[in-house]
Amino acid sequence: MIYHVVPLDDWLRVPDRPYAPPTLAEDGFVHCSPDESTALAVADALFRDAVGPLMVLLIDEEALDTPVRWEPADPAASRSLGGAAASAGLFPHVYGRINRNAVAGMLEVERDEEGHAVRLSLWS
């Protein structure tokens, strides 16, 4: 399983098509995380100001229609994520849209009053 942080509204925007965040066009791949703790660190560092529910997609790497490459994080991203990026080592990058049948489930990012991501919980 690999993990991708996404505002729920973005995930639901075009439900009948594969998911493509803006970073796919900008960077050429979809940024993902190797584990839940790194996904939580990403949510806290990069999505603190996101409005509405924030989700973590649980992606079955074997079910993807597009290739995944495990690569080092960009140095700037590593700094913004702090120790989580350093401990994660390589990050999964999906080089194409995420077919929705590869998403095995979702977790919700629980945030405190200041927007800090504090834990992941099952989404119902």
For residue range 74-120, list pLDDT tens digits in order.
766 655 565 555 555 899 999 999 999 999 999 999 999 988 999 99
CATH number at residue 6: 3.20.170.20
Domain count, the chain: 1
For residue range 30-47, list pLDDT tens digits in order.
999 999 999 999 999 999
pTM: 0.89
Task: Quote the domain boundaries for residue 81.
Answer: 2-122
Task: Name the 3-class secondary structure at 35.
Answer: coil
